[in-house]
Amino acid sequence: MIQRSSKNATIIEVARRAGVSSATAGRVLGDYGYSSPEVQEKVRAAAAALGYRPNRLAKGLITGKTQTIGVVVGDIESPFYASVLRGIGDVARRGGFGVIVTNSDENAELEREAVQLLLEKQVDGLIVSSTFVDEPDHLREAVAARCPVVQFDRVVAGLETDSVVVDNVSVTRSSIAAMIEAGHSRIGILAELGPGQRDDVGSFVANVDLSSADVRYHHPSWQRLLGYLEAHRAAGIEPDLQLIRRVAVYSSEAARKEALDLLTMRNAPSALFTADGVMSTGVLEATSALKLAIPGGVSLLCFDDLDWMQFVAQGITAIAQPAHLIGAAAAELLLKRLVEATLPFEHRVLTARLVERNSIAVHV
């Protein structure tokens, strides 16, 4: 029968019950050093009887390992990040690891603080969706300190680590091409267009060489803009800068205002493309305010297939990211790296898919 007490049993009490030294009990319960099978059995039986719970921090001081993974995400309330975290947690748990999650709020200073906190907690490795795409000194320092890092969703230029991303350009290009084939030649786009491109939108559109652009180091929203541009140019349509809206303040309210401006402008677009779920929410608020039906009044394509999209009117056509798989792949890469630190770095590119519903009408 397991004995319960108001305080956790100590290693000394376990050792006394098993009839061994505290050093021997520590080796058995800490999974380091050698002890005979008979001694291991006695110590584990004593620990179970006393309800002993190992102190991971103490074990980490001895072994240098805490069996924990640190994760930094941009917005813990985002459905995308929630699914990624579930994927990370599922793989970590199977591998015997715990997960510590921190939130950067897409703020560079908060991200630095989060990484520092996790390193102070002596996590065995980091999984990060960084708000930086250049000058990530905090991540370089983590790598230099031999803390493995796996990047997901975004990849920092010049930081050699394992990474997991989605092919944003290809799926956006093919999805926008389908809208063009449906007769839409004026398609508005609303995107955060976050850090990673110092050029303004006009300069970027005019100067980017689509045939040679290394999009890996662009923020995902810029990658989706590239796909949008490629689809237009393949169809012989010159992009109209008035239809490309950079939502400088990342919020659904800011997206709503940009959408209202787009939808009430002279020669308004017949269709809209939103580069993520926050943009999509703002557009739905704008169409509701204008009493504009989808797809009768305006067609809509959204990046990120959120749960509510299947229940709105005729259903919203959306690009679905394999968010759970992104998280699972990132955790798998990290656990693999913890076993073999000298393996070549791996850059996994996953495929998103178009979920066709009824929000894109044929435009004549």
The enclosing domain of 42 has a CATH number of: 1.10.260.40
Which of 218, 231, 225 has the alpha carbon at shortest distance from 165? Answer: 218
Model confidence at 133, in pLDDT bands (50, 70, 90)?
low
Out of 24, 43, 63, a domain closes at 63
Q: Given the DSSP bridges, would you call strands 353-355 and 317-320 parallel, antiparallel or unpaired?
A: antiparallel
Same domain, 227 and 310: yes
Per-residue pLDDT reduced to its tens digit, 70-129: 999 998 888 899 999 999 999 999 999 999 999 998 888 999 999 999 999 999 999 999
- Predicted confidence at residue 312, as pLDDT, reads 82
Per-residue pLDDT reduced to its tens digit, 168-193: 999 999 999 999 999 999 999 999 88
Query: Does residue 287 or residue 52 have the better pLDDT?
Result: 287
Which has the minimum average pLDDT: 47-56, 91-100, 160-169, 227-236?
47-56
Looking at the domain assignment, is residue 290 inside a domain? yes
Distance, in Å, from the CA atom of 281 to the CA atom of 270, rounded to the nearest integer, reads 18
Domain count, the chain: 3
The separation between CA 183 and the C-alpha centre of its own chain, rounded to angstroms, equals 34
- Predicted confidence at residue 226, as pLDDT, reads 92
SS3 for 349? Answer: strand
Which of 214, 192, 195, 349 has the alpha carbon at shortest distance from 276? Answer: 192
Query: Does residue 309 or residue 64 have the better pLDDT?
Result: 309
Same domain, 268 and 180: yes
Task: Indicate whether 5 pLDDT > 60.
Answer: no
Looking at the domain assignment, is residue 77 inside a domain? yes
Looking at the domain assignment, is residue 125 inside a domain? yes
CATH number of the domain that residue 224 is part of: 3.40.50.2300
Within the chain, residue ranges assigned H as helices are 11-18, 22-30, 37-50, 56-63, 79-94, 108-120, 137-144, 168-181, 201-207, 220-234, 252-264, 277-289, 323-339
Same domain, 302 and 332: no
Distance, in Å, from the CA atom of 211 to the CA atom of 230, rounded to the nearest integer, reads 9
Same domain, 135 and 232: no
Same domain, 204 and 297: yes
- Predicted confidence at residue 31, as pLDDT, reads 72
- Predicted confidence at residue 106, as pLDDT, reads 87
Same domain, 258 and 142: no
Q: What are phi and psi of 329, to 5 degrees?
A: -65, -40
Looking at the domain assignment, is residue 25 inside a domain? yes
Looking at the domain assignment, is residue 188 inside a domain? yes
Distance, in Å, from the CA atom of 113 to the CA atom of 209, rounded to the nearest integer, reads 37
Same domain, 203 and 257: yes
Residues 6+ apart with CB under 8 A from 298: 263, 268, 269, 270, 271, 272, 287, 292
Give the predicted TM-score (pTM) of the model: 0.82
Task: Indicate whether 4 pLDDT > 80.
Answer: no
Looking at the domain assignment, is residue 148 inside a domain? yes
Same domain, 232 and 206: yes
Looking at the domain assignment, is residue 364 inside a domain? no
Q: Which pair of structure tokens corresponds to residue 128? A: 């990060």
Model confidence at 63, in pLDDT bands (50, 70, 90)?
low
Annotate 264-325 with DSSP letters as a single string. HSTT--SEEEESSHHHHHHHHHHHHHTT--TTTT-EEEEES--GGGGTSTT--EEEEP-HHH
- Predicted confidence at residue 6, as pLDDT, reads 42
Same domain, 74 and 89: yes
Task: Indicate whether 41 pLDDT > 80.
Answer: yes
Task: Indicate whether 213 pLDDT > 60.
Answer: no
Same domain, 41 and 177: no
221 within 8 A of 304, measured Cβ to Cβ? no
Q: State which residues form the domain around 101.
A: 68-165+323-350
Model confidence at 218, in pLDDT bands (50, 70, 90)?
confident
Give strand pairing partners of 234: none
Looking at the domain assignment, is residue 216 inside a domain? yes
Report, in angstroms and rounded to the nearest whole number, the Rg of the chain calculated over CA atoms: 26
- Predicted confidence at residue 205, as pLDDT, reads 77
